[in-house]
Amino acid sequence: MIGIVFAMREELDEFIKLVDNIKEEKIYDLTFYKCNLFNKELVLVESDVGKVNAARTTQILIDKMNPKYIFNVGVAGSISDKVNVLDIVVSDKLVQHDFDITAFNHVKGYIPNVGTYMETDKYLLDISKSVNVDTFVHIGTIASGDIFITEKNMSSKINTKFNALCVEMEGASIAQVCTLSNIPYLVIRSISDSPNRSNNKITYEEFLEKSSKIVSNYLTEIIKNI
């Protein structure tokens, strides 16, 4: 079984259009959608935004559904001049940019028993590199934190500190849970806005649906090849 975690309903709605044989299962306040795609069993779930929600949902997914792989897909903000709105970013590693125990002589982003960067699964990453789509795909670091970033100065700092391509609010916490549970994972984001250029709430809302559709189509091509 392949597990897929979405932060928002809009992201899940675009992907669920592409699957068959949908069956719902309620666990706590979460709805899990068991379904099929290319003769593979999937389970989809919306976590809601933020690292705690994402981590909690991922652990429940692991404990109750026993997935072989976990994907986190959705939208993100570009913090690199090389990455534009509607491009795709695939994680080779993730970092929590707001995790700070530098007072104890650790670098920013360092998490005890985990490290600073969490590397994604090589098998899934290699499959993502082989997929052909009509959009630009970037491989690199995705930074996560409990902040919707609109300030150019903050986005520039995160880009410089961690060499990150984009920023969002869930991926690295999902990576942490998967790492600790020994579950292969991959985080994929479509760019909906850009703090370095014209990011604002209007830009984000304008491109949310289109970005969600792009990343959903990209994920289906990866699943086809697993």
Q: Give CA–CA dist 131/222, Å, rounded.
A: 7
Mean pLDDT over residues 125-148, rounded? 95
Can you tell me the mean pLDDT for 88-92? 97
> How many residues are there in the chain?
226
- How far apart, in whole angstroms, are the C-alpha atoms of residue 214 and residue 11? 10
Query: Chain-wide mean pLDDT for the chain?
Result: 93
CATH of the domain at 142: 3.40.50.1580
φ/ψ of residue 74, rounded to 5? 165, -150
Domain count for the chain: 1
Set 14, 46, 87, 193: catalytic member: 193
The token pair at 142 is 């995705």
Taking residues 166-188, what's their average pLDDT? 97
Confidence bin at 152 (pLDDT 50/70/90): confident
The domain of 157 spans: 2-224
Q: What is the band of 197 on the pLDDT scale with cuts at 50, 70, 90?
A: low
Q: What is the pTM of this model?
A: 0.93
Give pLDDT, residue 133. 87
pLDDT tens for residues 105-125? 999 999 999 999 999 999 999
pLDDT confidence of 199, banded at 50, 70, 90? very low
Residue with tokens 């534009």: 84
Active site residue 193: yes
Marked catalytic residue, from 10, 11, 170, 206: 11
For residue 66, the 8-state DSSP code is: -
